[in-house]
Amino acid sequence: MNDQHDTKSFSSYEQELVDFLREDALENQKQRLSVTFLWFYKGMLVSYITLLNDRISLEGDLRAVFRKKGVQYHSLPALKIGRLCVDNRFLRKGVGTMMIDFSIIVASRIFEKYSGCRFIVVDAKRNPNTKLDSIQFYRKMGFNELKEQKKGATPMYFDLVNEIKSCL
Ligand SMILES: CC(C)(COP(=O)(O)OP(=O)(O)OC[C@H]1O[C@@H](n2cnc3c(N)ncnc32)[C@H](O)[C@@H]1OP(=O)(O)O)[C@@H](O)C(=O)NCCC(=O)NCCS
């Protein structure tokens, strides 16, 4: 995103994600903390995704799987989906799926050309007011839940090599 992009029309039942887009996304990008990508349809802002670098701690079953492969590291490199949101008017039309595909392409490019990147990670949240939760969405996209839990969020990962899921 850049200074020219108008985010005023964007609406979501997740107000925190609207506030982040309007108030923090561009500033975070200027500080090189994350990059936010926007999608438009006929001039309307449809969705956005915010990406940054992260790592996944190898614990429990995941650690065991990698130990068996001879990988002794305590953590492995990942691309993090910091925020992801579809405007209320465009929900359930495949836009979220398209953004996940985009993040997989970005992670693959990073690995192919620039730097190690084994996973995509996200902290999936449940909205206590609407009871809607994104965990099912991410599961459908091929993400798995990490054993480790965070307050109010479920850490999930997508393995870009996609061969260890069956081992867990
Ligand atoms: C979660 C979110 C990104 C999904 O976007 P979307 O464009 O509606 O998703 P898609 O149309 O690609 O849906 C793909 C599948 O995911 C599942 N899915 C989508 N939203 C879901 C939800 N809220 N709860 C459970 N399953 C959901 C559905 O099975 C859907 O397939 P179907 O329509 O064939 O049944 C969107 O609901 C959203 O922006 N929510 C608010 C913000 C949020 O929760 N962001 C994630 C936290 S980081």
Best residue among 20, 37, 137 to mutate for probing ligand 1's pocket (most ligand atoms within 8 Å of CB) is 137
DSSP bridge partners of 49: 37, 84
53 CA → ligand 1 middle, Å: 23
Query: In terms of Cα–Cα distance, which of 116, 109, 100, 111 is closest to 37?
Result: 100
Q: What is the pTM of this model?
A: 0.93
pLDDT in tens, 59-95: 888 899 999 999 999 999 999 999 999 999 999 999 9
Residue 154's beta-bridge partner residues? 124
pLDDT tens column, 114-139: 999 999 999 998 776 666 679 999 99
CATH code that applies to domain 49-167: 3.40.630.30
Three-state DSSP class for 122?
strand
- Identity at 5, one-letter amino acid code: H
Cα separation, 40 vs 143, in Å, equals 26
Q: Please provide the DSSP assignment of 138-158 as one string.
A: HHHTT-EE-SS-BTTEEEEEE
Domain locations in the chain as residue ranges: 49-167
For strands 35-41 and 44-57, give the pairing: antiparallel
Residue owning the nearest CA to atom 44 of ligand 1: 134
